[in-house]
Structure 1
Amino acid sequence: MTDAVVLVDPYPRTLAQIFDPDTRRRMASLAEVVWHDGPPAPDDLVEDVLGAAVAVVGQTPLPRERLLRAPQLRAVVNVEGNFLPNVDYETCFARGIHVLSAAPVFGPPVAELALGLAIAAARDIPAADAAIRTGREELFGGKNERAFLLAGSTLGLLGCGTLGRALLPLLRPFGGSVLVHDPWLQDAIVRDLGAEPVGLDELFVRSRIVFVLAAPTTENAGLVGRDQLGAMAAGAVVVLVSRSPVVDWDALLDAASSGRIRVAIDVFPEEPIPADDVVRSLPNSVLSAHRAGNVPEIWPRIGRMVADDLEWILRGLPPQRLQAARPETVARLRSRPIG
């Protein structure tokens, strides 16, 4: 046991969800851990540990005045997966406090579901299932006029951060061109990833499927609008698995309703989805209730990643497993809490 104190306040996650017994023991070997489960830690608990805390794990509010009362603090770890406005980032950067996110753990499960949604939409799998259940199926798929193969198709990624880099290896076996539009990535980086950098409009004109993977920022609200959706080839697919503010929601619903394109959606402007929301009867769509990253086997990985990086930080080394906030970009993010 060391003199260092770590506050673990993971709401809306739970301790049992992300910290298995082995990881809890490992954390306890690194520092004195104050474990708090359930609703967010009350102010008196946070204030009690601030003076000795070397790390806060969770979405605990840490405005500047609180950070000034935490002279030993070396790390703040968000276990939701986003960089939220609960932290005074400027103060953290000025003091050399690492602000980290568990986002990397969500890349593989979200990428897998994104691919599944794309295949389901391209091959009309939900409609075929529904036809059998209602006695309307056509043997061998009938004419199957709407179906197309991902193999050999041009596929597009809007955003190539954590999610995009997890999806790229899953797309390569299909053998088609992969286009990327990401204004935060240099073209050379995109080419090194085996993809072709393109402008926003070109992405939608050329791609048979566009995966919307970009995080919401101050610059990209409603970025995907009627012009981009209208430029897509008939029968093309939009897969939305990042956050809904990136698209013009009404334009997306209209494009699907028109029958020109298909959409596969895992995230919505209002969650839970209202009972009377028109999206529930949206044609030409595959719908998933924000479940892309919610796979039980990934949750303990968050705890292990936290322990890995906490050990490194306490040894005076930079974290390697979690995603680090960057001064140049974090202020532009517009993520919202999930709880």
Structure 2
Amino acid sequence: MAGSGEQRAAAGPAGGPAVTPPTGARRPVTVVSVSPALRAQFFPDRVGDRLAAATDATLVDDHAALTGVDLASVLARAEVLVTSWGVPRLDAALLDRAPALRLVAHTGASVKPFVTAELFARGVAVTQAGQGMARSVAEVALTFTLALLHQTPRFDHALHAGAGWRRAEQAPPRHEILGCPVGVVGASRTGRAYLELVRALGAEVSVCDPTLTPADAARLDARLVGLDELLAGSRIVALHAPTLPETRHLLGARELALLPDGAGLVNTARSWLVDEAALVAELTRGRIDAALDVFDEEPLPTGHPLRGLPNVLLTPHQAAGTVQGRRRQGEIVVDEIVRYASGRPLAHAVTPELLARTG
């Protein structure tokens, strides 16, 4: 229907040819609430073909259509809902319109913004594709790490601002990653992927995570320490912790003051973890550097003080957006739907208990 952006997925979300589903496989009625631009990234070529083969899918361009009348007949039959960022909360009112729903498959990582207790109470399973994002975000965190060690943001800002050559050359001491003390806060999927990358380049890694034992850390080839010790002893601190009540402003003014002069803070995780006002104050003094992909207010206002600081590297919350990562996310979603349709356990299920302790 033209008003809802609804389309039948007769030939696959990417427009490729339809393919035959596996012998004996069931094709659950599925609503794919993902914008056309994101569908092209998550479900290109054969990934899209697999989705079309595995499901009887209706494509929805705009999440708003889920609460409208045009999709009523499709939602009433839908067993699977594929979601992306910005999907409305799946509350009782919306779920009443989808009585057959049995699986929500999220193309992103955190489902906290839209998953409700009502969903679990009705026996609906939830899965997500965060594992597909881990490598992409870890590589950006590594890029940030190297940029801060080599003072790239300061050089770049100086040259773009028209500073003279001698002035542009001036920067704090630069360091290699070989032998560098790197602290990782949170041994999440992305934290572990980042840890593997920096260890491969010779960094000396410490990790702070209350869910780890010293033996767990040893298997990661890292030293398990408390937060204060990690902050005081690291040249680079990379944040990969979840969004929990206890991690709100995990790094405030007191914690940021523990960082050594010339240290760098890398945050590709969540702005929730850092008191942004305290960070701006510390960065304004020029004592430390930072590389940030996440912010309290997004889009980041053009007049925000972070935009004018020469010792800060900024990206617009795009650390996960690689071609390969997006494709992996789509593949995970399709794999999970196939598992559901064949009666096998989900590989990336989100339970109420897991949701309570992760971001």
After TM superposition, the score normalised by the length of structure 2 is: 0.83
Please, which of 140, 152, 156 is the counterpart of residue 179 of structure 2? 152
The residue aligned with 2:32 is 8
CA gap 1:96/1:38 in 2 versus in 1, 3 angstroms? closer
Kindly state the Cα deviation for residue 292 of structure 1 after the two structures are TM-superposed: 1.2
CA gap 1:223/1:97 in 2 versus in 1, 3 angstroms? same
Is residue 78 from structure 1 mapped to residue 98 from structure 2 by the alignment?
A: no
CA gap 1:163/1:176 in 2 versus in 1, 3 angstroms? same
The residue aligned with 2:7 is none
Is residue 206 from structure 1 mapped to residue 237 from structure 2 by the alignment?
A: no
**Aligned partners of 1:128 and 1:305: how far apart in 2?**
40
CA displacement, residues 265-314 of structure 1 (integer Å, 9 cap, x when unaligned):
11111111112111111242222222211223432332222111111111
* Identity value in percent: 33
**Aligned partners of 2:228 and 2:72: how far apart in 1?**
50
**Aligned partners of 1:129 and 1:71: how far apart in 2?**
55
Amino acid in structure 2 at the alignment position of 1:269: D
RMSD: 2.6
CA displacement, residues 133-176 of structure 1 (integer Å, 9 cap, x when unaligned):
6363359x968642112210111111111210211111112323
The residue aligned with 1:307 is 334
Unaligned runs of 5+ in 1: 335-339
Task: Answer whether contact 1:13 1:80 (CA < 8 A) is retained.
Answer: no
The residue aligned with 1:34 is 58
Task: Answer whether contact 1:128 1:137 (CA < 8 A) is retained.
Answer: no
Please, which of 200, 204, 208 is the counterpart of residue 177 of structure 1? 204
CA gap 1:73/1:142 in 2 versus in 1, 3 angstroms? closer
Amino acid in structure 1 at the alignment position of 2:75: L
Is residue 164 from structure 1 mapped to residue 188 from structure 2 by the alignment?
A: no
CA gap 1:221/1:207 in 2 versus in 1, 3 angstroms? same
Kindly state the Cα deviation for residue 237 of structure 1 after the two structures are TM-superposed: 0.8
**Aligned partners of 1:296 and 1:331: how far apart in 2?**
31
**Aligned partners of 2:216 and 2:198: how far apart in 1?**
18
Segment of structure 1 superposing worse, 191-200 or 221-230: 191-200
CA gap 1:292/1:123 in 2 versus in 1, 3 angstroms? same
After TM superposition, the score normalised by the length of structure 1 is: 0.87
Q: Secondary structure at the match of 1:87?
A: coil
Task: Answer whether contact 1:10 1:57 (CA < 8 A) is retained.
Answer: yes
CA gap 1:274/1:129 in 2 versus in 1, 3 angstroms? closer
Kindly state the Cα deviation for residue 9 of structure 1 after the two structures are TM-superposed: 0.4
Kindly state the Cα deviation for residue 112 of structure 1 after the two structures are TM-superposed: 0.9
The residue aligned with 2:41 is 17
Unaligned runs of 5+ in 2: 1-20
Kindly state the Cα deviation for residue 101 of structure 1 after the two structures are TM-superposed: 1.5
Kindly state the Cα deviation for residue 193 of structure 1 after the two structures are TM-superposed: 1.9
**Aligned partners of 1:95 and 1:184: how far apart in 2?**
30
Please, which of 264, 269, 273 is the counterpart of residue 237 of structure 1? 264
Segment of structure 1 superposing worse, 107-116 or 63-72: 63-72
Please, which of 54, 62, 77 is the counterpart of residue 79 of structure 2? 54
The residue aligned with 2:6 is none
CA gap 1:45/1:307 in 2 versus in 1, 3 angstroms? farther
Task: Answer whether contact 1:218 1:332 (CA < 8 A) is retained.
Answer: no
Q: Secondary structure at the match of 1:148?
A: coil
